[in-house]
Amino acid sequence: MNELKKTNISIDFLTELHKKNRQTINTRKYLDKLREKNLNTFGNKCELCNETKNLEFHHINPSYLGRGRGSYNRYNEVRKNPELFKLLCKKCHDSI
Ligand SMILES: [Zn+2]
């Protein structure tokens, strides 16, 4: 009986783990799509030097974004208010 209980717990645990992992994977796919869409909005290149690699979204007013916000919130922010962002390559972004 004790063995059976242990097995049940372990299956429940694994199911939860699988659900979580699947969710993580779906979220990543969604974020990639969102990022791609945002990059298209900005023409897929750095606004300052036309670089097309290592692109990042620069918020014109960084204090506008709260602390602890993840990629999901940032990408949705870019999608909703593209006028608040600039698309820059890492080099230009770091030099700002
Ligand atoms: Zn650049």
Which among 47, 38, 42, 35 has a CA at the least distance from the CA of 92?
A: 47
Beta strands in 1-96, from DSSP E residues, in sequence order = 55-59, 85-89
Ligand 1 centroid – CA 44 distance (Å): 11
Instruction: Map out the domains of the chain as residue ranges.
Output: 2-95
Count of all residues that appear for the chain in the document: 96
In tens digits, the chain (96 residues) has pLDDT values of 555 555 566 777 777 877 777 777 677 888 888 899 999 999 999 999 999 999 999 988 866 555 445 777 788 889 989 999 999 999 999 998
Ligand 1 centroid – CA 67 distance (Å): 26
Ligand 1 centroid – CA 27 distance (Å): 28
Residues with CB under 5 A from ligand 1 (ion): 46, 48-49, 51, 89, 92
pLDDT for res 73: 77
DSSP, collapsed to helix, strand or coil, labels residue 94 as helix
E strand or H helix that includes residue 55: strand 55-59
Assessment of whether the complete model's pTM goes beyond 0.75: no
DSSP tag of 87: E
